[in-house]
Amino acid sequence: MWANTESVARRIAVVSMPCESAAAGLIALGAMRRRLALDDANDSFSHFQRIERLADMKEGETFLRHNTLKGRFALESRDPRGFVWVRGAHTASGKNGPLRTVILPSHSNEWRFDGEAPIQNIEGTGLPDGSFYGELIQGALPAIQSNLGTSDSGICLAGRVAGESVSKNILDSIRFQSHDRVAALPNLLTVQRWSPGTISRTTFFNTRTGQIDRSTGCTRVVVADGDGAFLRVIEAAEFRHSNVVGVVHRVLERDRLESIGIKIAELAQWYAPDNDLLNQLPPAPGGITISTLKRR
């Protein structure tokens, strides 16, 4: 529901479960499946969108670097025709002053943010379990064929504090069957390290080490698995513009439950309950409680 929204207001949801579960992985899969049906839901386009977004922001300066052109380039505001321009940060020795050039969507991958790694287009074969995605959600829009062959970092799964292998083991317990074929949840998520050789459409944030497997700055939705992951994701600079879904369970010590409650209470200063969104959701099974907040 959030993955395709153009709303700039950040949303935070907490899903409270009555037991341990693989719900975070399932939610991430649902969000990833949603993006398969969206035009331009891939890393290249997301990278260009990020450049556009920063060009529209008036505060501070943003610098980029090019694969072949030397030096830093300052990002300028979009012109009336909607083109994004950059200007060389240092005076060139030539007669014409600093170089000024436009960034086109088709070549945006040649540009990277100063201080960040170049945009990674995960190379590999297309999604191996393509047919599963078609049958995953009844009534869902069909996946766009080109998306099945391109990487995307719009959805991030933040693993459990206990570590990546623990997170993966939990998700491994969920299997999907289509006719005579079976696919495990980690494979369908296509996290890069769990499905080497194929393109990746979900990034993984290792909560234990604080590292994301590929940093693009384009995460639209991050799904946090567990209370520890939720609390770290909320504070992480990497996700300060991302929507967050925290999936926690309640069979925990009081201190840990209160840490989540305190965080939700703190967020209430800047966020309001998003009951409209909650009312659109189908009824959850008994014992699953959900809280949704939207930036004021």
Q: Which residues bind other proteins (CB under 8 A)?
A: 14-23, 161-166, 170, 173, 208, 228, 248-258, 260-261, 264, 272-273, 275, 278-279, 281, 283-293
Q: How far apart are CA 144 and CA 39, in angstroms?
A: 7
Taking the complex as a whole, how short is the minimal distance between the CB of residue 224 and other proteins, in angstroms?
14
Q: How near is the Cβ of 270 to other proteins at its closest, in Å?
A: 14
The least distance separating other proteins from the CB of residue 250, rounded to whole angstroms, comes to 5
Q: Which is nearer to other proteins, 21 or 109 (CB)?
A: 21
Longest dimension (CA), the chain: 72
Judged by beta carbon, residue 10 or residue 249, the one nearer other proteins is: 249
Q: Which helix (H) or strand (E) holds 233?
A: helix 227-235
Smallest gap from Cβ 135 to other proteins, in A, equals: 20
Determine the Cα–Cα distance for residues 144 and 155; give it in Å rounded to an integer: 17
Q: Least distance from C-beta 27 to other proteins, angstroms? A: 13
On the CB side of 294, CA atoms within 13 Å amount to: 11
Give the 3-state secondary structure of residue 89.
coil
Nearest CB to other proteins, comparing residues 125 and 289: 289
* Exposure on the CB side of residue 197, measured as CA atoms within 13 A: 2
Residue whose CB is less far from other proteins, 54 or 277: 277
> What is the closest distance, in whole angstroms, from the C-beta atom of residue 213 to other proteins in the complex?
14
Which residue number, 95 or 254, has a Cβ lying nearer to other proteins?
254
**SS3 assignment for 2-64:** CCCCCCCCCEEEEEEECCCCCHHHHHHHHHHHHHHCCCCCCHHHHHHHHHHHHHHCCCCCCEE
Whichever of 79 and 258 has its CB closer to other proteins, that residue is 258
Which of 121/291 has CB closer to other proteins?
A: 291
The nearest distance, CB 258 to other proteins, in angstroms, is 7
**SS3 labels along 152-213:** CCCEEEECCCCCHHHHHHHHHCCEEEECCEEEEHHHHHCECCCCCCECCCEEEEECCCCEEC
